[in-house]
Amino acid sequence: MAGSRYAYTRTFELPDPLLPTTFFVIRLDGKGFHGFSKAHDFDKPNDVKALELMNMAAKRTMEGKELMGECVIGFGESDEYSFVFKRSCKLHGRRQSKLVTLVTSLFTSAYVFLWPSYFPNSPLQLDELPVFDGRIVQYSTELEVKDYLRWRQVDTHINNMYNTCFWALVLEGGMTAQEANKELSGTISSQKQELLFSRFGINYNNLPPMFRKGSVLVWEDEPTPAPIEAASEPEAVEPSSSSTSAEPSPSASPAPLLTPDGRPRRNKKLDKKTVKPKRRVIVVHEDLIGESWWEEGGRGAGILQG
């Protein structure tokens, strides 16, 4: 209770605000996902359903009312996801502990909630639950944020190429894990590509972009529905002699209001209904390393300037 003699214990809680006007990134990593993926029989080297589940959990995290649209871009690969917040973000007073625990719990709860949609025949096991840890890092410039995302995308490429070779050697080449690791030790990218193509007929560049480049989450405006147009004016009909003296039917529509010159008055409310576009998060698999994605005309142009 506030004002009690025990309230002094609150003074032990230290403030932990981030620096003002800095970008910050919250990165989540799966804890013990090697055992988790094995227990739930994930496909190797990449499980499409598992990656799509990560993307949808991240999408729910970004779009949720809890973050109030303050996260401007996300990037995911394997069992990790990064969320970039704009420098003007004041959510929860920019307290580190509040922010990192909020995003971690949001993502994890969304992952668990969505699990049955992607793995309906594989219930979560109590001794192998999806667990994520989180960290928060600040960056002072747009270039540093871009380079952070480039670093994560390069890491995606390196890890995926190694894992693709490793599992090809194990699953198709009949090697043990130790033999496959020894075979790949010291090899460079071009050698791994040659190994995949010459031994297994796999062109690495033809693998799905989600595997090679990771997943990028960005905001876009939803398509605006077409405006509602006013009904066209009814054609004039010559009254017949038998109907001029007839009483109007009780169910007939009321006569339209007329302008001073005798034309039907238009209902401006029906002419055009202005709808404010809503924003949504979409998932793309595009190259963040080159400058074209960030320059004018690219999807990432101005994304860090809000």
How many domains does the chain fold into?
Answer: 1
Lowest-pLDDT range of 76-80, 252-256, 290-294: 252-256
Kindly report, residue by residue over 11-53, the tens digit of the pLDDT.
Answer: 999 999 999 999 999 999 999 999 999 999 999 999 999 999 9
pLDDT band at 243 (very low <50, low <70, confident <90, very high): very low
State yes or no: 186 annotated in a binding site. no
Using one digit for the tens of pLDDT, what is the confidence trace for 135-193? 999 999 999 999 999 999 999 999 999 999 999 999 999 999 999 999 999 999 999 99
Residue 134: domain span: 16-140+208-222+280-293
- The reply to whether 42 falls in a domain is yes
* pLDDT given at position 3: 76
78 labeled binding residue: yes
Q: Report yes or no on 106 lying in a domain.
A: yes
Residue 130 resides in a domain: yes
CATH of the domain at 77: 3.30.70.3000
55 alpha carbon, distance to own chain's centre: 6
Res 223: pLDDT: 79
Residue 122 lies inside a defined structural domain of this protein: yes
Is residue 271 annotated as involved in ligand binding?
no
pLDDT of residue 257: 66
Select the more confidently predicted residue: 239 or 139. 139
Q: Is 3 annotated as a binding residue?
A: no
Q: Report if residue 154 sits inside a domain.
A: no
- Which of these, 144, 53, 82, 150, lies nearest to 73 by C-alpha position? 82
Task: Say if 192 falls within a structural domain.
Answer: no
Total number of residues shown for the chain: 306
- 274-306 confidence digits (pLDDT tens): 566 789 999 999 999 999 999 998 999 999 986
pLDDT for 89-148, tens place per residue? 999 999 999 999 999 999 999 999 999 999 999 999 999 999 999 999 999 999 999 999
| Percent of all residues in the chain with a pLDDT value above 90, rounded to a whole number | 78
Between 96-118 and 48-63, two packed helices, what is the crossing angle to 10 degrees? 130
- The pTM (predicted TM-score) of the whole model is 0.83
Q: Do the domain assignments include residue 2?
A: no
Q: Is residue 305 part of a domain?
A: no
pLDDT above 70 (res 226)? no
